[in-house]
Structure 1
Amino acid sequence: MQAFARSNRCASSTLKAAVESNSWQRFGCGPLLEPQATLIHRAIEAQAIARPHAIAAEHQGRSITYRELNRQANRLAATLLEQGVMADDHVALFVERSIPMLVGMLAVLKIGAAYIPQHVGVTPAAQLRHILAVANVRVVLTLAKLAPALPLTTAQKCIALDAFISADSVAADERNIGSAASSPDSVCFVLFTSGTTGQPNGVRVTQRNVCNILLTAPGNLGMRPGLKVGQILNIAFDMSAWEVLGCLAHGATLLIRGKDIAQTAERCDVLIATPSILATLDPARCTQLKVVALAGEPCPQPLADRWSAFCTFYNACGPTETTIVNTMQHYRGVGPLTIGKPTPNNTVYVLDEAGQLCAPGEPGEMWAGGDCVTAGYLGNPELTAERYQPDPFLGHGRTMFRTRDLARWTADGELEHLGRVDDQVKVRGFRVELDSVSAALESTPNCERAVTLKLDSRHLVAFVYPPTTDIDVARSRCAERLAYYCVPSLILAVEAIPLTSRGKVDKRLLLEWAVAHQAQDACAEQSVTA
């Protein structure tokens, strides 16, 4: 494998040449659009100038205007510079959801540094310690109540954002800091994802990456002044940047949730979520919603049908390494539910095992190219070289990323998601795609959600929701649609599908439930035999 060469310049001319010279680009190339800004904080600053008294964010009865958000961020940016933070440095943002959190994000961006968001109380202390070391962090932004519990060294400076804001006695400063500190290639934030070695990997997301998805349609989700956007996701999750930066860059009002997600969702015009989170909400109580965007997991068809009936509904896909999402479908409640087409200035290649392009209808692995491709992993050149490769289709030093998602092009040029390479398992010597089994189970009347997992080398286990789902009918649906070895040996109807802190299915906990159920059945059998 060739080493990763970082190059992220002048995408539109390269993409244009590719469109003109390669027929495959009629499917694989997103439209060419120019983002309205090249630095995401400049778009936020423009909102502060255009509508200074508009409410930028609300949280637990408190609010902040765009003017005040920008002013406080300028103050903090000046303080960070005094503390020796420079462009391209890393600043830890170890917080809880709050208005001060927004001030910290914006201030770091203003000086050309990158923030590293983590939700204290959710992220284990050992992981925070690992992040601080790998990112060479010298300044940590947090909240006063959280500071004593942080695993800091004597070399690390801690600033309590809420205390900093409360201590403000300076007249308003309308200047914008760091006019020359950032470029489109500057890293905007670093998101730590679960790693295969047990330690999280830090994905370096650039200004160009962020502006490309948030400041073009459909990624902008129609956000605009006067609309309310929910902030319900874990701030360490890449989709939270869609909520926060997307909202603020378009002059909307960010509703930062407390403990009750539903209470916030019911007040929103725009909601970004995982399918697992959306499935916990009642559509009848969310009548104000105008736009819903889902990503992070496969979306069940019944869920898409239910919500697309009354609002603009997007089903999207993309790992952190391709900047939030790089494909989107506007699903209108008719036709197949897919993950759509490449977003603007991006490309998608469906390749076979030899690295050759697959024809429409042929399954293969998705590789992503264009402006979505991030700047690699922090401090891990070996993994970067493995997953980020020179793009032979765009050329000109461009890079493509191996997503590990399986897909095929439909006849009308949309991508049908076929699961993860990691979700292809061997059962009784046969290859099984777990998502296909779940989709068959979800065709059962009244079944809203199904999750299928490999229990051991010979057995699959599936979980269906709601608990009233007819398990016999569900098993029959699998037997009708799939090979015999794809039919789960155990199907459990559950009261709820458990979620991780990032709003995805907690597969580890589900497997523990399955093992416990087996043990309970074994004990019952022994009792009967005795």
Structure 2
Amino acid sequence: MLAHELFEARRDLHPDLPAMVWGDRTLTYEELGRDSDRLALALRSAGVTGQPVGVFFERGFAIAVAVLGVLKAGCAYVPLDPAYPDERLAAMVRDSGARILLSDKAILDRIPVPDGTRATALEDLLSAVEDTPRTTAPAIGPDSLAYVIYTSGSTGVPKGVAMPHGPLANLIDWQCAHSSCGTGDRTLQFSALSFDVSFQELFSTWASGGTLVVVDDATRRSCQALIELMNRASVRRMFLPFVALQAIAEHASTVGAWPVSLREVITAGEQLQVSPAVRALFQHLDGAVLVNQYGPSETHVVTSLELDGDPLTWPDQPSIGRPITNAEAYVLDEHLRPQRPGVPGELCIGGPVLAQGYLGMPDVTATRFRTVPGVAGGGRIYRTGDLVELLPDGTIRFLGRLDDQVKIRGHRVETGEVEARLRALPEVADAAVVVRETAAGGKQLVAFCVPAHGARVVASAIRRSLAVHLPGHMIPSSIRDLPSFPLTPSGKVDRKALARRL
């Protein structure tokens, strides 16, 4: 069954159970199902079945209604994060080809939509459709598009990952089978919709009959408020990147406030490190497990490792585990030949877990999605660009990147895109971006800029200019000027020499 069909099955089983809670408000499975049915009918009446639909909302119930309604209409949703700059959001809408942009009235006019796109308030669409018996959804199969999520691009242009239903249905089936959470258990709705983990967060909860606890932005930014919410709402499970887990663990250890109801913490998006604070957190959570999941946006989750038992015995840097059901992992050399266990190589993913590719970018798709004789039964593989090695126990150890890509606060960032934006500024002649690791184990971007002739590089002004084009996680935390860059013998920027200046 596809993800929205799993929701409908649970709606039939327990219509009056809460699908979501937000403060003192509750949305039952039947209420959410009914509103999403009305939206699906409105979209089909507008003739957009099979096409992308923009979804642009602040946190709340409307996100769930929009995502479910779009999928039931046979459309693919395009998540648009209100935290992103308007220009970047407009570029995503143009690139996706969305004919309809769903939003709230309060922020409806924020994005300058292109010709051919209609911005529509969700409440207006719902009020125009009467409650009707459930209608038959259009034919949707595993190859039908479910969403288009945009990631950073090395050329300075975001890339839209076109993900079909099949890989997502496989993921939800696997997640439900390997989670202790079931009917009535509560999962924190922590991830932004633009982060692909949000799909897993939403639908693995609904598919098992659970309840999502919505977190507003103010609470999300406060570790104390987040812990208080989890305790008040009896949250059993949460999905989050390592940097957020570390921040919560540090705060909990400092003040002695523990999210005591937590039993399952799933981290993804960044390399997991079991720090002293993380160990202390799990020593205070009765029997809780820590699950390290790995997967790029082009495949979603493809490997997993569960840590249980005494946290003092957990490794400092756990592996990324083994492939989930139907995912295939290959460690290949630069000629795409299999490497022996213990020999580092590029992690390539096969099996029915791959995205269709990058929307409207066939050349870029062809470089990352390949067919290699003798690998994956001759089917497609996705070249992750991640350096790994296969360990004797069959798990996979993550060793780093083969290129300039990095994860910042769980988001994938191509440093080349940040550099391209810097070079476009009139006061910058050239730019190079490197990564430094913080004491807490997170990562930050540091930009080195060569000033244009007669110009000055002022960090505050550079940041203001970048904020027009780039989301917060892509803006360097430090900006430094240099008269020229150190070069390697081949004439390239010596990034190792720059890193030594950090």
Letter in 1 for 2:272: C
Deviations along 1:266-313, one digit per CA (max 9) or x if unpaired, are 442110000111122145421111100001111122155344443111
What is the aligned partner in structure 1 of residue 182 from structure 2? 224
Q: Which runs of 5+ in 1 are unaligned?
A: 1-36, 426-433, 442-446, 458-499, 517-530
Shift >6 Å, 4+ stretches: 452-457
Superposed displacement of residue 245, structure 1: 2.0
Query: CA offset at residue 265 of structure 1?
Result: 4.1
Match of 2:86 among 125, 128, 140: 125
Specify the alignment match of 1:375 in structure 2. Answer: 356
Q: Evaluate the alpha carbon distance shift between residue 391 and residue 245 of structure 1 in structure 2; reply closer, same or farther with a 3 A threshold.
A: farther
C-alpha distance in structure 1 between counterparts of 2:273 and 2:176, whole Å: 21
Selected match of 2:196 from 221, 238, 242? 238
Alpha-carbon distance in structure 2 between the residues aligned to 1:107 and 1:392: 41
Cα separation, partners in 2 of 1:41 and 1:394, compared to 1, 3 Å: farther
Pick aligned residue for 1:102 from 56, 60, 64: 64
**Matches of residues 232-381 of structure 1 in structure 2 within 5 Å?**
232-258=190-216, 259-261=218-220, 262=226, 263-266=228-231, 267=233, 268-281=235-248, 282-283=251-252, 284-302=257-275, 304-309=278-283, 310=285, 311-323=288-300, 325-332=301-308, 333=311, 334-336=313-315, 337-381=318-362
Q: 2:294 is aligned with what amino acid? A: C
Cα distance in structure 1, aligned partners of 2:108 and 2:207: 29
Mark the CA change 1:422 to 1:305 in structure 2 (over 3 Å): closer, same or farther.
farther
Q: CA RMSD in A?
A: 2.8
Q: What is the aligned length?
A: 411
Structure 1 residues 450, 505: CA separation in 2 closer, same or farther (over 3 Å shift)? farther
Q: CA deviation at 1:315?
A: 0.9
Q: Match of 1:326, as an amino acid?
A: V
When residues 219 and 95 of structure 1 are mapped into structure 2, their CA distance, relative to the original with a 3 A threshold, is: farther
Instruction: Report whether the alignment pairs 1:112 with 2:74.
Output: yes
Give the structure-1-normalised TM-score: 0.72
Deviations 1:408-441 (A, max 9, x none): 111111111101113599xxxxxxxx99x96xx9
The 8 Å contact of residues 110 and 177 in structure 1, kept in 2 or not, is answered as no
Q: Deviations over 1:322-366 (max 9, x none)?
A: 12x211100233353111111110011111112121111111110
What's 1:415 paired with?
396
Q: Which runs of no fewer than 5 residues in structure 2 stay unpaired?
A: 221-225, 407-433, 450-466, 483-502
Asked whether the equivalents of residues 53 and 102 of structure 2 are also in contact (C-alpha less than 8 Å), the reply is: yes
Contact 1:111 1:177 (C-alpha < 8 Å) held by counterparts = no
Letter of the 1:312 counterpart: V
The whole-number CA distance in structure 2 between the counterparts of 1:292 and 1:243 is: 12
Within 2, Cα distance between the matches of 1:56 and 1:396?
41
Alpha-carbon distance, 1:384 to partner: 0.3
- Distance in 2 between the 1:66 and 1:112 partners? 20
Q: Distance in 1 between matches of 2:444 and 2:27?
A: 44
CA distance in structure 2 between the partners assigned to 1:264 and 1:219 by the alignment: 27
Q: 1:215 to 1:145 in 2, by over 3 A?
A: same
Contact 1:360/1:410 (8 A) holds in 2: yes
Alpha-carbon distance between aligned partners in 1 of 2:340 and 2:102, rounded to the nearest angstrom: 49
Give runs of aligned pairs for residues 392-431 of structure 1, distance below 5 A: 392-393=373-374, 395=376, 398-422=379-403
Q: Matched residues in 1 for 2:376 and 2:396: separation? A: 23
Residue in 2 that maps onto 1:15: none
Q: Which amino acid aligns with 2:381?
A: M
> Which amino acid in 1 is paired with 2:476?
L
Cα-to-partner distance string for 1:213-257 (whole Å, 9 max, x where unaligned): 111147763332111111112211111111112212221111111
Shift of 1:407: 0.8
CA contact (8 A) 2:42 2:125 kept: no
Higher relative contact order (CA 8 A, sep 6+): 1
Question: Structure 1 residue 214 and structure 2 residue 204: aligned?
Answer: no
**SS across alignment from 1:140:** strand
Once the 2 structures are TM-superposed, how far is the Cα of residue 156 of structure 1 from its aligned partner? 2.0
Do structure 1's residue 511 and structure 2's residue 487 form an aligned pair?
no
The residue identity in structure 2 corresponding to 1:208 is G
Partner of 1:30: none
Change (3 A) 1:377 1:292: same
Pair 386,304 (structure 1): closer, same or farther in 2 beyond 3 Å: farther
* Aligned: 1:175 with 2:134: yes
* Aligned position for 1:136: 97
TM-score w.r.t. the length of structure 2 is 0.76
Work out the percentage of aligned pairs sharing the same amino acid. Answer: 29
Inter-CA distance 397–41: structure 2 relative to 1 (3 Å threshold):
farther
Q: What's the counterpart of residue 23 of structure 1?
A: none
Gap change, CA 1:158 and 1:505, over 3 Å in 2: closer
Matches within 5 A, 1:420-499: 420-422=401-403, 448-449=440-441, 451=443
- The alpha carbon displacement at 1:113 in A equals 1.0
